[in-house]
């Protein structure tokens, strides 16, 4: 993948902060403890400072090269340029999301999050959250190496931001509250597949404008899309698949919708909610 463009101003580096505990449960426990100390009139930083620092994924020393953070920043900038233009064509104004790099665990407007959950988007604060350790996992556990695969992950989260700006997330959220569990899950899958399709739309336009794609890149991204497909994840963790608990869609569905976006470059080709469509 060929990316040499500008860096985004919207990357917030929270790596190596006190809350970044790699131990499951540890970060939350520490945060609760800090809150208790605070409520008792003490200094909560005395508690959070006790947290072991996480050297892995910590920011590089000032001035030192930090290629992964740099890459994320370039990709984010590219999504900003692409979506700004696409929104303008539709008479709308795109608002840039922010992207938070964190280590281990992070506090968002949507709650406390662990790296184990993978990258996510919080519609309440319009921020994408990513622990760069996820990329290592993508390479090693899901066998999805390659820089375009990494870019795809960001583009998918930005796809959720686009859904928030277009009011789709809110509509789906209220529909989910009225629906039964099965229907609610189906709606979540459609939301996820649409984010995949939007990632494809980004790839189409970024390539048209800046020729970012190299031989093999699309295969990389599709490999990532299918590696992160819920059926694969469930097979790896439990040995069997339970379709009704899918929240991201099957590998085949994710590949199909990414391709739709990539081939058309059109937002209106990403209507995963259209009535009667098999998803
Ligand atoms: Zn998603």
Tens of pLDDT, residues 55-65? 445 555 666 77
Tens of pLDDT, residues 193-244? 999 999 999 999 988 887 888 888 887 777 777 776 656 665 665 555 555 5
Name residues whose C-beta falls within 8 Å of residue 151's C-beta, 6 or more positions apart in sequence: 1, 3, 71, 75, 78, 221
CA of 39 to the centre of ligand 1 (A): 36
CA of 188 to the centre of ligand 1 (A): 9
261 has pLDDT over 80: yes
CA of 112 to the centre of ligand 1 (A): 17
CA of 47 to the centre of ligand 1 (A): 34
In the chain, the percentage of residues whose pLDDT exceeds 90 is: 36
CA of 163 to the centre of ligand 1 (A): 11
CA of 25 to the centre of ligand 1 (A): 24
CA of 159 to the centre of ligand 1 (A): 8
pLDDT of residue 144: 60
Q: How confident is the model at residue 252 (pLDDT cuts 50, 70, 90)?
A: confident
Tens of pLDDT, residues 172-197? 999 999 999 889 889 988 999 999 99
Q: What's the mean pLDDT in 95-122?
A: 84
Tens of pLDDT, residues 196-206? 999 999 999 98
| Cα 35 → chain centroid | 29
CA of 2 to the centre of ligand 1 (A): 25
CA of 99 to the centre of ligand 1 (A): 15
Tens of pLDDT, residues 64-105? 778 888 989 999 999 999 999 999 999 999 999 999 998 888
CA of 199 to the centre of ligand 1 (A): 10
CA of 191 to the centre of ligand 1 (A): 8
pLDDT of residue 200: 95
Task: Report the C-alpha gap between 1 and 211 in whole angstroms.
Answer: 9
CA of 195 to the centre of ligand 1 (A): 6
Q: Which of 148, 157, 152, 69 is nearest to 110 (CA)?
A: 157
CA of 192 to the centre of ligand 1 (A): 5
CA of 64 to the centre of ligand 1 (A): 32
CA of 45 to the centre of ligand 1 (A): 34
Q: pLDDT averaged over the chain?
A: 78
Instruction: State the Cα angle at 32 between 27 and 38, rounded to 5°.
Output: 125
Ligand 1 ion: nearby residues, β-carbon < 5 Å = 192, 195
CA of 155 to the centre of ligand 1 (A): 10
């Amino acid at each position: 993948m060929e990316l040499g463009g500008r860096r985004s101003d919207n990357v917030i580096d929270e790596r190596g902060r006190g809350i970044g505990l790699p131990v499951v449960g540890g970060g939350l426990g520490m945060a609760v403890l800090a809150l208790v100390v605070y409520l008792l009139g003490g200094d909560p930083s005395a508690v959070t400072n006790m947290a072991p620092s996480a050297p892995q994924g910590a920011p590089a020393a000032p001035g030192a090269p930090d290629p992964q953070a740099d890459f994320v920043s370039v990709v984010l900038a590219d999504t900003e340029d692409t979506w700004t233009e696409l929104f303008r064509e539709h008479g709308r104004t795109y608002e840039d999301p922010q992207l938070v790099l964190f280590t281990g665990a992070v506090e968002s407007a949507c709650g406390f999050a662990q790296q184990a959950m993978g990258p996510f988007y919080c519609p309440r604060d319009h921020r994408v959250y990513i622990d760069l350790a996820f990329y290592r996992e993508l390479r090693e556990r899901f066998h999805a190496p390659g820089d375009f695969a990494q870019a795809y992950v960001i583009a998918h989260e930005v796809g959720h931001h686009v859904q928030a700006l277009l009011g789709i997330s809110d509509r789906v959220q209220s529909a989910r509250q009225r629906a039964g569990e099965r229907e609610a899950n189906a709606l979540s899958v459609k939301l996820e597949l649409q984010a995949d399709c939007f990632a494809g739309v980004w790839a189409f336009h970024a390539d048209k404008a800046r020729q970012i794609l190299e031989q093999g890149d699309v295969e990389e991204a599709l490999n990532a899309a299918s590696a992160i497909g819920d059926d694969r994840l469930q097979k790896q963790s439990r040995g069997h698949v339970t379709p009704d608990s899918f929240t991201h869609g099957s590998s085949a569905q994710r590949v199909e919708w990414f391709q739709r976006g990539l081939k058309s470059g059109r937002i209106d080709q990403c209507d995963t909610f259209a009535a009667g469509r098999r998803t």
